[in-house]
Amino acid sequence: MLKKLIKFSASYTVIDGLQRGVLFLMLPIFTHYMTTKEYGIVSTALILISFLTVLFSFALHAAISRYYFKYEDKPDELKKFLGSNFLFLTLFSVSISIILILFGEFIFKWLFEEIDFNPYIIYTLVIVSTQVIIVAYFSLLKAMQKLKLYIIVFNGYFATQLLLMSILIIAYDLKQDGYLLGVLISNVLFVSIIFILLRKEIIFKIDMKYIKESLNYSLPIVPVEIIGNVNRLIDRYYILLFIGLGGVGIYYVGVQIAGLINLIALAINSAYTPIFFKKYENNKDDNYNDIYNLTDIIVFTIGGIATMAIIISPLLLHLFDDAYHEGANIILYLGFTGAITSVYFVNTNVLSLEPKLIKLKTIGIVFGTIVNVVLGYFFTKYYGIEGAAISTLIGFAVTTIILISIVHKNTNFRFNNKKYIFYLGILFFILLEIKDIVLLEQILIMIIVIGILFIINFKFKKGKFDDNIRNKV
């Protein structure tokens, strides 16, 4: 199991890392052709794309990942299940996009008065109507663990998108229009390719039995994902409100750098989730010791990597024009969400097993979002983009702690959560204390601290520390 986790997480890290790495290297070029305000338009459109993709999809990608394992040994039913979900998803997302393009202009002008509905919101709605299919397909490939096909399609999709953006921005000087048009054209092209690839995997007919089953699972996830997106995106909306499009552009560069740190946690979770679900489906005696040991490795590894990356990452800002350098102040806070994400995913995967657990998960995410929304308003208003980043970190930490409590009270899973909180708390406290000293000294101090914590963890393991902790957490 550990070997499989390493294989797939390393693969997803390399694949996604290559994509983000190349895109990040292109960002200094793209932002050179755009002012902070023009790049703020792109950033705001990406906020909308992320939010509306969740809303338009009914979270059916989650149902596809979850129930694939139910039907994988029943080929005929699997084809009907996948065909029903992909066709329903396509028809709904296209229909709602058309309705909003025709009748929704006043809503978007009220919410985003600095963004022109035509063309930017229209671009966004077309992108969303295709993005839901792409997200669902990549979720399916991960569930099927078809790594080679995932690599080919993902890299082809990304390369096409990057090529189109580069031509439109650099060669034709279309700036923010070129960025969004590059995404739009590549999405339309690859949705066509996806359905060609799926033609032998699905039956092109909607069977409501499978739609009802999927919606019964996924609909409780929709509020969770919407709230989660609000939690992730409210910082940029407040910056747009209090500072303007230029502030959004600066902040989003910092988000992109922090995203390179979060990538590691996301990639490992992409490999961990199918392993966890399969273990749950096949487990007959509620013995999850191998899962607990695996999560120890995941949390300690991600925490160490994220910490070192946070120290080094501000150097990347020197690739950008001076106008974007203010983003250095937020990388510590946004980057450390990647370390916390390791604990968040461990617990949220448990709360994705059954619809009743998903409803409980909503409680934790709602409360954490309320904290972020309230704090974010005042922190951003009085402390600018750094305040927005701090409130984001606090809200995410609160959400994670509540989910830990819900897992403990409502399931039989007993992760080493107290140990994880202690470990990450120590790392964050030391990062705050050493952030203003020489870079080399920061690196040496954190290597020593992380090494000591790893040694203590293994020593406690030998003394059966883990078993005692699980009985208490």
For each of the chain's 473 residues, which pLDDT tens digit applies?
556 555 555 555 555 655 665 666 777 888 889 888 898 899 889 888 988 998 899 889 989 988 988 898 899 999 999 999 999 999 999 999 999 999 999 999 888 888 899 999 999 999 999 999 999 999 899 888 788 888 889 889 988 999 999 999 999 999 999 999 999 999 999 999 999 999 888 898 899 999 999 999 888 888 877 877 787 788 988 998 899 888 888 888 888 888 777 777 777 777 777 778 777 777 656 677 888 888 888 898 889 988 988 888 878 777 777 777 777 778 889 889 888 988 998 898 888 888 788 888 888 888 888 888 999 999 999 999 999 999 999 988 998 999 999 999 998 888 989 999 999 999 999 999 998 888 888 889 988 988 888 887 766 655 444 444 444 44
188 and 266 in a common domain = no
Instruction: Say which DSSP state 318 is in.
Output: G
Is 435 a member of any domain?
yes
Helical residues (DSSP H) of 104-203, grouped into ranges:
105-111, 122-144, 147-166, 175-198
Contact 45, 184 (CB under 8 A): no
CA–CA separation, 462 and 199 (whole Å): 53
277, 307: one domain: yes
Claim to verify: residue 159 and residue 176 sit in the same structural domain: yes
> Whole-angstrom Cα distance, residue 10 to residue 246?
36
Q: Are residues 356 and 419 in the same domain?
A: yes
pLDDT at res. 3:
60
Does 6 map to a domain?
Answer: no
How much is the pLDDT for 388?
A: 93
At residue 471, the pLDDT reads 45
Q: Are residues 408 and 422 in the same domain?
A: yes
CA–CA distance, 259 with 310 (Å, rounded to integer) = 11
CA distance to 176, 290, 297, 303, 337, per residue, from 342 (Å): 34, 17, 10, 8, 9
Burial of 201 (0-12, 13-18, 19+ CB in 10 A): middle
Q: What is the pLDDT of residue 468?
A: 46
Asked whether residue 212 is domain-assigned, the answer is yes
Same-domain check for residues 210 and 323: no
**Parent domain of 95:** 60-218
209 sits in which H/E element: helix 208-218
Q: Last residue of some domain: 175, 190, 218?
A: 218
Q: Is residue 421 domain-shared with residue 283, that is, in the same domain?
A: yes
Give the pLDDT score at 163.
Answer: 93
Same domain, 176 and 105: yes
* Rounded distance between C-alpha atoms, residue 238 and residue 382, angstroms: 11
Same domain, 143 and 237: no
Does the residue 32 lie in any domain?
no
The DSSP H or E segment spanning 468 is helix 465-472
Number of domains in the chain: 2
User: What is residue 91's predicted lDDT score, i.e. its pLDDT?
Assistant: 95
pTM score: 0.71
Does residue 210 belong to any structural domain of this protein?
Answer: yes
Residues 260 and 391 both lie in one domain:
yes
Domain boundary among 218, 236, 259: 218
- Domain-embedded: residue 438: yes
Domain boundary among 191, 218, 245: 218
User: Do 237 and 355 belong together in one domain?
Assistant: yes
Burial class (CB in 10 A: 0-12, 13-18, 19+), 198: middle
Distance of alpha carbon 126 from alpha carbon 221, whole angstroms: 24
pLDDT at 383: 92
